[in-house]
Every structure is written in structure tokens, then in C-alpha cells.
Amino acid sequence: MGNLLILFTASLCLCLFVALLYVLYKYWWVPHRVQFIMNSQGIKGPPYEFIHGNNKEALQMRKEASSKPMALTHDIFPRVMPHDYSCIKKYGKNFLSWNGVRAQLVITDPELVKEVLKTSEKAFSKPKTSYFFKKLLGDSIPTIKSEKWARHRKLANHAFHGESLKNMIPAMIASVGTMLEKWKDKEGKEMEVFKEFRLLTSEVISRTAFGSSYLEGEKIFDMLTKLTLIIGRNFYKAKFPVIGKFWKSADEIESNKLEKMIHDSVMKIVKQREEKVMTGEVDSFGHDFLGLLVNAYHDPDEKNMFLIQDIIDECKTFYFAGQETTNSLLAWTTLLLAIYPDWQDKTRAEVIEVFGNQNPNSEGIAKLKTMTMIINETLRLYPPLNGVVRKAERDIQLGKLVLPNYLDLNIRFIALHHDPDLWGDDVHLFKPERFAEGIAKATNNNAAAFMPFGLGPRTCVGMNFAITETKIALSMTLQRYTFTLSPTYVHAPLPNLSLKPQHGLHCLCLFVALLYVLLYVLYEYLWVPHHLQFVMNSQGIRGPPYEFIHGNNKEALQMQKEASSKPMALTHDIFPRVMPHDYSCIKQYGNNYLSWNGVRAQLVITDPELVKEVLKTSEKAFSKPKPSYFFKKLLGDSIPTIKSEKSARHRKLANHAFHGESLKVNH
Ligand code: HEM
């Protein structure tokens, strides 16, 4: 048992030591190496801070920027990403930044952006999804790679393009119709359009992709929204690797719960679809996105078959991606039309010209030129996604740079969309006319200047869907209403971010404290006893071997129990019965031997010469040991336990009380 404990503790100690080395390697050596490699190629940036990277600084800047009210300007980059904005000003278009321990080459040079996004994913792939994003998207199109991605992407392309998209138009019109019907009660009143469009976009994706109403997917949307809030809160939080495996934050626990609940809710919708076929209510799984997924689940060809988890993850992703992004586009477009009534009038005139008072149709949607310009300018100024991330898969060349494979590549659309070098001095003005002759002309054929839906093979699969939905919603709304800006309008500050201390530092302190305790225990309970044992043994003093923590206590207790359990003859030979362990040790090891009361080494002395020497020598050499916990309770600091001058004083008093005249008087 003792050996097992030693082995266990030694292994634990070794593991902790390896973990410490790993942490130092990952959190100190690698970041400094990457920093050195990039700096030596002329890429500078704010210095790496242990564990936090630049997160604390970025969070603080964001908090400050978003706490101030904002004038009605479209120059939003310094407000939305103040840290990146100030780094570009200080270090240039491409700089090295740190999200915790993750090195990020932030790229806003259009040539490098194109090279990254258009190169095969074997060179610049999607990075591993962070803990919370994984809960949101699982293994779905935005996160998977290679052959699996190609298969899933093919299915999604089929569901959201061409004829399938055309077939979705009636459902989109019906959803907008429902929203406008409700607006009738609110005519003339002020309305929060972002909220209204949240319901609309949820309803549209539910109906078109999943053949259900918003109400059926309501729980899923609520849970996805909660997850996105958690992601926002944790965006700048560093995660400590070793401790993080064993200790979960409240947000991690909550996100696990949400993930499970979303899984169950989506599963229910999938099962309902399957049951309709099983019961003969319908004869196929359907041709919408969910139908194609369920079909793929039942595909007899293993190569094409989707697993149930694939379906769940794709559904989650499309519920999320199909709603949040288009919601943002619709809300910003409406706001801009309210700010610029001339453009609103022009767009309305176009809608009336194309559709009259009729509902939109696919041919007409393609003819809405002014509306397309408005949407593009909105996407330029207010891209629903600020950027995308890739990862250098290996040490690789990018332009003139050689990138180490630890590097994430952050491409900030928002910086490119607001770059005066690409758009001119009027970059921050709302000027839809830029797009009058199409995107290629507006961007001077520079694809990286405008890419709200991404670039290269990973471009947004829902782009046409989102644009069609936006055009239908705007057309039907403009046919009926005029938007004006609320007089109380100010740009709402971003949700306040709390500056909680980073978990990483707590974890490191905890880790160091644990290591310290472990080393202390090993020293006190392993090293010291064995060293003492060696010292005494080498002088001929033997004794029962020390057992980790217990010493000889278990053995001594056992012997005492056995001895006292037997009836005793009327003999005065009580030593073997009263102290059987000591008795047997003397027999085995001689008059003086080494014994262990737990971790306390005890030289048991029965050699009369040594006994005299110990007891007669000044207490400066052989003093009373510290009383044990329970003896301390019994005796406190009294004559048997105190020493030196205090002991002398107390003893004098007691002597006086129990000797000489006092003793006689008491008689
Ligand atoms: C205005 C609306 C939207 C914007 C601005 C937008 C933006 C983007 C961007 C920038 C990407 C590229 C990500 C990357 O390169 O890593 C992307 C990918 C994606 N989007 Fe959208 N999106 C929108 C609407 C939608 C909708 C409505 C859907 C679903 C119906 C959708 C589904 C996806 C999916 C599945 C991907 C991953 C594509 C892949 O990795 O192959 N998006 N989106």
C-alpha cells in the first residue's frame, strides 16, 4: 500500500512537472519564437503578454470605445475594433497580434488577403474552432474540411441556389406578409426594427430550410442567441490548458447544457420529418435543406451517407447563420434608408416600377438595381461579419513573408471596406452610386476591397438566399411604409463587457500553489524520513521501515489490538502486552532502534547509559518535543510542555506548592 502511494505520488509529481514544462513551452517559448520570426521579417505588433496576449488591452479599448455615445458617422472601424484600428495606425496594414496565446497575423493588405483566401485550404485552412464556437457550429460546413466539407457544401449549394431558391420565394413572401400584418397595429408608432427583423429572419429560415414555423424553432433560436452571448463574453478570455481540462467555468457549464438542449430540439424536428414518411402522411423527406439532409442520412451508399450528428450540426449552423447575418443586413439597410430619404424614395420608386403593388417575383428581384446598390453600400459600411480567420497549415510563404505554422491569419473585411487607399477620401460616406456599374467597377477589380460574403472556395453558401430575402423584405415594406429615424436615435453602445480578471492567471496561481504543496509533501513525507533512516541505519541503528505517511502506526496499532484482545495470565510481565510493538522491535533490532510515529522519527532508547545522557543533559540539547494536537488540548502550555525561562518560573511555583513546608501543612 505504502509503495503504491509512493508510486502514485511520484507519477503525479512527474505529470505536474511535464505539465509545467508544457505550459512554459506553449505559453512562453512558442509565442516569443513566433514574435521573433515575424519581427525579423518586418512584421511588428503589440508585445505578447504571458497567457493574456493582448486581450486585456483589447478588451479595455473596446470597453472605452463603446461606452461613449457616437455621432451619426459611418466611420465605425475605430469603435467596433479599436485595438485593431490603433495597431494598423501604429504598425501598418499587417501586424502581429495575440488572442491569448494564439498568434494572429492580422492582414488588411488586399494582395495578401487574396492570396490567403484563394489559395487551396491545404496551405491556409480553417483553424480549430474555439470551445464555445464548437458548441454553436459543431462539425458543420464552416468548420469541417476536405472531402467531408465538399460533400456537405454540395448538398447546401443544392438547397440554397437555383430552382430551390426560387421555390423558397413564396415562403419568404408569406413570412414578410405576417410581419407586415402585425405592423398594422403599430402604424405611426416608433418601432425597434432590429427586433422585428430578428423574428422575420428566424421565420424565413425555419420555413424555407426546415419546413417549420418560427414557433417550432423558437426554442432553438433562443438557445443559439444565449450561446452567441456567451461567445461574446468569452471572446477575449484566455484558457489555461491543463487546468481547463478539469475545471469548467460557469459559461462552459451553461454552454454544455445549451448544446445538449439544442441537440435534443433539433433531433425532435428531424424525427418528426422521418415519422411523416414512416406513417405514410407524405411520400418523401422533402426537397428543402432538412429534407436533403434526412435523405442523405438514409443514403444506402456509405460514401454519401450523413450521420445523425452531421444533420444536427448542419441544422444548428443554418438556423444560426441563416438568421443573425441577414437580420443585421436588413436592420442596417433600413436605418440607412431612414437617414437618407432621397435614397429611400429612389428605391421605393424602383420597387413600384418593377412590382407595382404586387408581391415580388424572381424576375423582378433581379431587376432591382438601385436596391442592389443600397445593399452593397450597406454591406461595405456595416458588414455583418467583420472578418474571417485562417491558419497557416505549415511553415509557408505568403507574399514575401515566411509564416510559421502556429499562426492564425485574421482577415478584417471591415478594415478593407473602410480603407481610404481603396475607396478614396469619401470612404466613410454613404454613397450607393459607387456600385452603379457593379462591384468590379466600384472596387477597381480588386476583389479584396469588398467581400462581405468572403472570397474563394469558402464564400458564403447563403449569399443569394440572404440577398433575395433582404430584397423581398425591403420591397414589401417600401411598398407600404416610409421609414424615418427616431428622434431619440443614438448609436447604442455595444453590450458592456466586464473586465473580470482572466481565468488564466487564477489557474496559473492555483497550479503553482498545487505544485508547491506537492513538492512540500514529497519533501516532508518522503525525502526527510528516508534520509533520516539512511543516516541512522548507517550508524547501526535499525528499525521497522518507514511507510509513506503512516510510519509504523498501522503495524503498532494492529499489534496492540491483538495483544490486548487476549486475556492475560496473572503475570507482571506487562511490557509485551502494553507496548507489543516496542517489545518486538527491541527483540528484533536491539536496545535502541528507530521507529516511526507517522512521519515523526523516533529513536527508542532503552540502553541505560544513553537514557541517562539524554535526560540529564541540559534541555538545550534534548528538549521536550512539541506536544501533539490532542496533548496540547489536554495540557495547554503548562509545566510539562513549556521550556526555558518560563518553565523555570512555573516549576519554581509548583515546587513551592508541593514540597517542604507546603507538603507538611497539607498533611
Ligand atoms: C448578409 C448575410 C450573410 C453574410 C454577410 C454572410 C457572410 C459570410 C461569410 C463572410 C462567410 C465566409 C466565412 C469564411 O470564409 O470563413 C460565410 C460563410 C458561410 N455562410 Fe454566410 N453570410 C450571410 C448569410 C448566410 C445565410 C443566410 C446562410 C444560410 C442560409 C449562410 C451560411 C453560411 C455557411 C454555411 C458558410 C460556410 C461556407 C463554407 O465554409 O463553405 N450565410 N458567410
**How high is the ipTM of this complex?**
0.99
pLDDT tens per residue, range 518-530:
888 888 888 889 9
pLDDT tens per residue, range 385-399:
999 999 988 889 999
Question: How many Å apart are CA 522 and CA 540, to the nearest integer?
Answer: 26
User: Does 586 or 237 have the greater pLDDT score?
Assistant: 586
Q: Identify the band that residue 239 occupies on the pLDDT scale cut at 50, 70 and 90.
A: low
pTM above 0.80, yes or no: no
- Grid look-up 456600385 returns 435
The DSSP bridge partners found for residue 124 are: 392
Nearest CA-CA partner of 303 in 144, 122, 147, 141: 147
Alpha-helical segments (H) within 279-406:
289-297, 308-339, 341-355, 362-366, 369-381
In the structure grid, which three cell numbers stand for residue 302, read together?
456509405
Output the residue whose Cα is nearest ligand 1's atom 42.
462
pLDDT tens per residue, range 592-628:
999 999 989 999 999 999 999 888 887 778 888 888 7
- Write the burial class of residue 114 (CB in 10 Å: 0-12 exposed, 13-18 middle, 19+ buried): middle
Average pLDDT, the chain: 88
Nearest CA-CA partner of 203 in 195, 214, 211: 214
The pLDDT value given to residue 490? 44
Highest mean pLDDT among 60-74, 259-273, 307-321, 439-453: 439-453
In the structure grid, which three cell numbers stand for residue 504, read together?
488564466
Q: Closest ligand 1 atom to the C-alpha of 457? A: 41
- Report the pLDDT averaged over residues 314-336: 93
- Report the pLDDT averaged over residues 198-203: 93
- Grid look-up 541540559 returns 618
Measure CA 582 to chain center: 59
pLDDT tens per residue, range 391-448:
988 889 999 999 998 799 999 999 999 999 999 999 999 999 999 999 999 999 999 9
Q: Identify the band that residue 504 occupies on the pLDDT scale cut at 50, 70 and 90.
A: very low
Opening angle at CA 599, ends 598 and 601, nearest 5: 100
Report percent pLDDT > 70 for the chain.
94
Residue of 325, 380, 389 with the most ligand 1 atoms within 8 Å of its CB, for mutation: 325
- Report the pLDDT averaged over residues 77-96: 96
Q: Closest ligand 1 atom to the C-alpha of 383? A: 5
pLDDT tens per residue, range 103-134:
999 999 999 999 999 887 888 989 888 888 88
The pLDDT value given to residue 488? 64
Distances (CA, A) of 424 to 111, 340, 393, 420, 442: 18, 21, 35, 5, 11
The pLDDT value given to residue 105? 97
Output the residue whose Cα is nearest ligand 1's atom 23.
325
Question: How many Å apart are CA 129 and CA 231, to the nearest integer?
Answer: 12
- Report the pLDDT averaged over residues 373-379: 98
Q: Identify the band that residue 503 occupies on the pLDDT scale cut at 50, 70 and 90.
A: very low
What residue ranges line ligand 1, CB within 6 angstroms?
Answer: 141-142, 153, 156, 160, 317-318, 321-322, 325-326, 329, 384-385, 388, 452-454, 458, 460-462, 465-466
Q: Does the pLDDT at position 36 exceed 90?
A: yes
Question: How many Å apart are CA 262 and CA 313, to the nearest integer?
Answer: 10
Q: Closest ligand 1 atom to the C-alpha of 467? A: 1
User: Does 460 or 638 have the greater pLDDT score?
Assistant: 460
Question: How many Å apart are CA 138 and CA 320, to the nearest integer?
Answer: 12
Question: How many Å apart are CA 305 and CA 381, to the nearest integer?
Answer: 41
Give exposure, 385-413, as e/b (b: 16+ Cβ within 10 Å).
bbbbbbbbbeebebeebebbebbbbbbbb
The pLDDT value given to residue 237? 67
Ligand 1 centroid – CA 570 distance (Å): 95
Q: Identify the band that residue 491 occupies on the pLDDT scale cut at 50, 70 and 90.
A: very low
Per-residue DSSP letters for 296-317?
HHT-SSTTTPPPHHHHHHHHHH
Ligand 1 centroid – CA 474 distance (Å): 21
Question: How many Å apart are CA 489 and CA 71, to the nearest integer?
Answer: 10
Nearest CA-CA partner of 193 in 494, 486, 490: 486
Contact yes or no for 470/330 (Cβ under 8 A): yes
Nearest CA-CA partner of 382 in 428, 332, 422: 332
Distances (CA, A) of 230 to 62, 219, 383, 497, 517: 17, 17, 22, 11, 35
Report percent pLDDT > 90 for the chain.
56
Q: Annotation-wise, does 507 bind a ligand? A: no
The pLDDT value given to residue 216? 73
Question: How many Å apart are CA 549 and CA 625, to the nearest integer?
Answer: 19
